[in-house]
Amino acid sequence: MRIDIITIFPKMFAPVLNESIIKRAQNKGKVRIYIHNLRDYTLDKHKKVDDRPFGGGSGMVMSPDPIFRAVEDLKFKTKDLTPKTRVILLSPQGKKLNQRTAKRLARSKHLILICGHYEGIDERVRLYLVDEEISIGDYVLTGGELPAMVLVDCLVRLIPGVLGDKNSLNFESFAGNLLEYPQYTRPANYQGMKVPAILLSGNHKKIADWRKKQAVKITKNKRPDLLGK
């Protein structure tokens, strides 16, 4: 998979992309991630990427020209991937990210992520350039950089061969619309707080049944909306 991220704050990404699982995935060649400064695609000497909104109003709006130019340039440079490229705008208007969407996007060959800023993006970007809009929640952030990082982290760990244990994905929260069952490790008795005896029994079938029941119970108590799905 290749992921291109278009942003006006490229330095924000290094601490996330150069650590942990995302770094290992890149080292393994499972994913290639490139950060592009939107200002490099402007034509004026001030590298301006925004302007005042037509009709008046507060704040500034991101201009369409540099964004179109950036996406078109990236598609030209990745001609072999272009038919399979999806352009995604990180936006509060987008569909809320969930595990099902993440699994779908993790099968993509090439993603171009656009990080919005200011009061918004010229609507023509939304209408004529973007394939999909994604939000990470019903709240307002300064820009699309943090949502882009969340999306990348969510997708990369789903790429086959990235995680060490191929079975670990099957038992995580939201797998099968259930939250994850309780986890314990040594010591079995910590200051009088004991690990459930079933987990020490060695009976794998009973352990699996217990975990399933616990997952259903936790989901019912904390996220009953998931059970309806």
Cα–Cα distance for residue pair 209/188, rounded to 1 Å: 20
pLDDT at 86: 97
Tens of pLDDT, residue by residue over 120-177, are 899 999 999 999 999 999 998 999 999 999 999 999 999 999 987 655 555 555 667 8
* Domain range summary for the chain, segments of one domain joined by +: 2-156, 173-227
Which distant-in-sequence residues (6+ apart) come within 8 Å of 66 by Cβ? Answer: 38, 39, 41, 42, 49
3-state secondary structure string, the chain? CEEEEEECCHHHCHHHHCCHHHHHHHHCCCCEEEEEEHHHHCCCCCCCCEECCCCCCCCCEECHHHHHHHHHHHHHHCCCCHHHEEEEEEEEEEEECCHHHHHHHCCCCEEEEEECCCCCECHHHHHHCCCEEEECCCCCCCCCHHHHHHHHHHHHCCCCCCCCCCCHHHHCCCECCECCCCCCCCCCEECCEECCHHHHCCCHHHHHHHHHHHHHHHHHHHCHHHHCC
pTM: 0.87
| Domain 173-227 in this protein, CATH class | mainly alpha
Tens of pLDDT, residue by residue over 36-77, are 999 999 998 999 999 999 998 888 999 999 999 999 999 999
Q: Stretch 88-104: mean pLDDT, rounded? A: 94
pLDDT at 177: 81
Q: What percent of the chain has pLDDT over 70?
A: 95
Residue 132 token pair: 């999909």
Task: Kindly indicate the confidence band of residue 117, based on its pLDDT and cuts at 50, 70 and 90.
Answer: confident
CATH architecture of 2-156: 3-Layer(aba) Sandwich (3.40)
Q: Which of 2-6, 81-85, 190-194, 221-225 shows the lowest mean pLDDT across its residues? A: 81-85
pLDDT at 172: 58
pLDDT at 182: 92
